[in-house]
Amino acid sequence: DVKVTQSSRYLVKRTGEKVFLECVQDMDHENMFWYRQDPGLGLRLIYFSYDVKMKEKGDIPEGYSVSREKKERFSLILESASTNQTSMYLCASSLGRGLKPQHFGDGTRLSIL
Amino acid sequence: QKEVEQNSGPLSVPEGAIASLNCTYSDRGSQSFFWYRQYSGKSPELIMSIYSNGDKEDGRFTAQLNKASQYVSLLIRDSQPSDSATYLCAVNITPGNTGKLIFGQGTTLQVKP
């Protein structure tokens, strides 16, 4: 069965901290995505990657960066966490051309205090 | 104007009825369309995709696309309480199938026994 695993289900950090969210997929998918989901705003794409070491900005990349050193792992980095980055973060992956996420992780609910 | 719009609901239907979920989009050049289902507290899962005008059926689910009117619908026949979830419409607004998706806010469906 396919699996996208996010390292933490819940995370609480302080303003100004550097925060790392990790995501691993075991399906050999080329594409990986980071979304955030907020009430009333839906799913918004932060960054995506279509290959190792490749990354593209999504709709709301400000305040975030990503790293993809290995095909199975896609990391989201909050350079200096702020309270407006409190959200549910979802990692996803997909196979082949076409950037529709096919499999999502369980999500990380991040609170910035 | 939002690029992908859905009525947030909740849409309430009795068990066994047909549930009709609607989505409109603003970019006339959109090529591919997707429906995701998200149970409360869970991650989205891809349930339907449609690329050409008309209907596409998969079990109790039918996706309908009308590009001239710029809407896509999801019909759920013989609705069950287990269909109660939020349904997200997503649209690829880039010509071809290589662009990223834009998600609507989702419609919450409640199926009452």
B18 touches chain A (CB under 8 A): no
Interface test with B, best of A9, A41, A100 (most B CBs within 10 A): A100
Between positions 59 and 98 of B, the ones with CB within 8 A of A are: 88, 90, 92, 97-98
B21 touches chain A (CB under 8 A): no
Supply the pLDDT for residue A97.
72
Q: Are B54 and B71 in contact (CB under 8 A)?
A: no
- Number of A to B CB contacts under 8 A, please give it: 49
How do residues B5-14 score in pLDDT, each as one tens digit? 999 889 999 9
Supply the pLDDT for residue A5.
96
Q: What is the pLDDT of chain B when averaged over all its residues?
A: 92
The two structure tokens encoding residue B97: 């199938």
List of E strands, chain B: 4-5, 11-14, 19-25, 32-38, 45-50, 54-58, 61-66, 71-76, 85-92, 101-103, 107-112
B23 touches chain A (CB under 8 A): no
pLDDT per 10-residue tile (average), chain A, 113 residues: 89 97 94 93 92 90 96 96 97 84 94 97
pLDDT (average), residues B78-95: 91
Supply the pLDDT for residue B98.
55
How do residues B40-66 score in pLDDT, each as one tens digit? 999 999 999 999 999 999 999 999 999
